[in-house]
Amino acid sequence: MTFRSLLVVILIFFSPIVFSQNIADCIDAVAVCETTSINYEVIGIGDVNDLPINESGCLGDGGAGTGIESNSIWFRFKAARNGQLGFNIIPDNPNDDWDFAVYGPDVRCDDLGDPVGWTGPGDCGISNYNAGNPNDGGQTGAGNPPSFLSGDWYTPFLEVNEGEEYLLLINSYQGGNDSFTLEWTGDLVDDGLGNPLDCSIVVGDLGPDQEVCEGEVITLDGTSPSTTAIGYQWFLDTGTGFTDIVGQTNPIYVINNNVSGIYKVEVTDLDGSTDDDEVEINFYSQPTITPLPNPFYEVFDTDGTEDGFTIFNLRDLFNNILLNGQDSTIYEVQYYQSQADADANVSPIPNPDNYTNIPDNPDFTDDIYARVVTNAAPNTCIPATTSFKLLVNINQPPVLSSNFRGAYCPLSEIKIAENFTITDSDDTGLDFFTIQISSGYSNPEDILILTGTHPNITSTWNTTEGKLTLEPIAPATQILYSDLQSAVREVVFTSTNPNISGERFFSFTIGDAN
């Protein structure tokens, strides 16, 4: 017999299925993705003579005058993971002479090349090149033979890598309408890790899961890459299990009703095998944004630098207002420096909880653009944006005035600042105020006392420092300038020393005098 080679497909089998078919053309190769033993019958070479030549690797003329093929069938399969695959061709008639060859990986029917592993005469790779096997029921294949007697009719296992696709030719050398069972073997079949074959060659790939906003039209394409697919059915699982989508038997399904769930297409092949692919599609409500009640947010520079810059925590300040009750685990606020960036959802402010303003407008304001996005589907939603301005004012200090010089009579009291005034262009009060005997202080004889009635102010005398502190009675409030002015005008100096002498000077301070 002349040397011949054929492409190998790997499947795992549990219960035999018998049927007749004539898939004799490479372009219509049976897409194999099931691990079940199947019986096949060959009838002729099909409509296309894929190997009209007299030699392909070690395969030679098929004995019918038509080139290598005489009565043939083609298979194709795709490896789901790396490993070792083999197969047995088990004749229904032990006297039949079956040849095979594997082509690939990833070759076209019009450019098959040589069989896998062929390097020249004497090394035919994955192809059978002997006449019919008189032993073990005439079996041939790739991998481990059923006994040592059949060793010459077996090639090594096929070593495959994930994603590689192969073509397998099986040919009856006698040219009769013969039949056989194809059985798959090898480590990938027995490793317990699931199907070693990638069924995407039977069923279309629906792609990755999608998270989208309501109103988005999703087109799912389950078209099988196999020319032998004969039927489609779509299913939907919204949380209670899959049910048929009635009437949806086309390879393409359009979702235009905002229904979330797991969509599945089941494809039936000409040989009766089925496979399916699933994809999860989740629809989210379009986000909304609530503008700030006052789009002009103004603060004073309180970081001590008085340079017009300060740090803002934009999230803490504005998120709750902008979201207005939307679930913060689904929706979030992004901040941008331009409307164009907000609309396109690009270049958001990288650290909005530690943002330093950029006063680049003529009025020293900073324009901030906010957008509410859906975390799972940020770019499929209608932009929900608003804008506001930040302004950092430099705090103008208050102006204090008191011009008094008087004579003190021992053991009496004297008001130290009857003409005291305080003015401030941008504030109406302060946290506390101190008056200190800054020069000439005699401890413990000298004392400053707040006299009169001042219901909003309390006073504390520090003997060690010679300092009187005025603070608001209510916590977390300020002393109004009008109340402070009245109080300071009624602060008196007194001394218990009958022989007091020298001069006393007083200092007024907003904050700590030291």
The pLDDT tens digits for 363-393 are 999 999 999 998 877 777 888 999 999 999 8
Q: How far apart, in whole angstroms, are the C-alpha atoms of residue 147 and residue 136?
A: 7
Quote the tokens at residue 320.
Answer: 């709750």
Q: Reply yes or no on domain 202-284 having CATH 2.60.40.10.
A: yes
Question: Which region among 53-67, 324-338, 436-450 has the lowest average model confidence (pLDDT)?
Answer: 53-67
Q: How far apart, in whole angstroms, are the C-alpha atoms of residue 112 and residue 286?
A: 52
pLDDT band with cut points at 50, 70 and 90 for residue 36: confident
Where do we find the tokens 């990938």? 188
- CATH number for the segment(s) 17-199: 2.60.120.380
Q: How far apart, in whole angstroms, are the C-alpha atoms of residue 48 and residue 329?
A: 59
Q: How far apart, in whole angstroms, are the C-alpha atoms of residue 171 and residue 3?
A: 12
Q: According to the model, what pLDDT value does residue 9 have?
A: 32
pLDDT digits (tens, 9 = 90+) for 381-435: 888 999 999 999 887 788 999 988 889 999 999 999 999 999 988 788 999 999 9
pLDDT band with cut points at 50, 70 and 90 for residue 271: low
Overall residue count recorded for the chain in this entry: 514
Q: According to the model, what pLDDT value does residue 70 have?
A: 84
- Extended beta strands in 4-94, E state: 17-18, 30-31, 38-41, 55-56, 59-60, 72-78, 83-91
DSSP string, 222-247: ---S-TTEEEEEEEEESSS--EE-TT
Question: Which region among 126-135, 188-197, 345-354 has the lowest average model confidence (pLDDT)?
Answer: 126-135
pLDDT band with cut points at 50, 70 and 90 for residue 129: low
Residues spanned by CATH 2.60.40.10 within the chain?
202-284
- Listed ranges 127-131, 151-155, 224-228, 303-307; the one with the highest mean pLDDT: 151-155
pTM of the model as a whole: 0.50
Q: According to the model, what pLDDT value does residue 2 have?
A: 36
For β-strands 38-41 and 17-18, DSSP reports them as: parallel
pLDDT band with cut points at 50, 70 and 90 for residue 32: confident
Q: According to the model, what pLDDT value does residue 105 have?
A: 94
Residues spanned by CATH 2.60.120.380 within the chain?
17-199
Q: According to the model, what pLDDT value does residue 251 have?
A: 93
What backbone torsions phi and psi does residue 263 show, to the nearest 5 degrees? -100, 140
Q: According to the model, what pLDDT value does residue 511 have?
A: 63
Mean pLDDT on 51-68: 77
